[in-house]
């Protein structure tokens, strides 16, 4: 889930997959996002809103995977460590 910048001359702000990352973690994040898109109403609403803003489905899934990764990280790291880092 570690993106690398991959912008062309026409489009800026795009990222590509870092193939040196943890592929199992990326697969798990993808699974979580696809299940949420199928069953979680707020996630479906997010997909509709971002589609209307002009984003493609892969870009939206990439954003959702980052959102899920941040949420999981906050649960895994002890609260004291997060407070000390801030």
Does residue 14 have a pLDDT over 80?
A: no
pTM, two decimal places: 0.72
Query: What is residue 10's predicted lDDT score, i.e. its pLDDT?
Result: 66
Distances (CA, A) of 61 to 2, 9, 27, 82: 14, 23, 12, 27
Query: What is residue 1's predicted lDDT score, i.e. its pLDDT?
Result: 55
pLDDT in tens, 40-51: 999 999 999 999
Task: Please state the rounded mean pLDDT for residues 1-8.
Answer: 65
Query: What is residue 24's predicted lDDT score, i.e. its pLDDT?
Result: 86
Query: What is residue 19's predicted lDDT score, i.e. its pLDDT?
Result: 66
Distances (CA, A) of 56 to 12, 50, 61, 85: 14, 8, 9, 35
CA nearest neighbour of 63 among 38, 46, 42: 46
């Amino acid at each position: 889930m570690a993106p690398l910048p991959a912008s062309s001359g026409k489009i800026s702000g795009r990222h590509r997959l870092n193939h040196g990352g943890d592929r199992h973690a990326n697969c798990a994040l993808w699974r979580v996002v696809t299940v949420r898109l199928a069953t979680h109403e707020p996630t479906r609403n997010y997909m509709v809103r971002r589609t209307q803003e002009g984003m493609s489905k892969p870009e939206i899934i990439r954003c959702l995977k980052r959102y899920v990764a941040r949420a999981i990280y906050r649960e895994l790291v002890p609260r004291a460590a997060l407070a000390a880092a801030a």
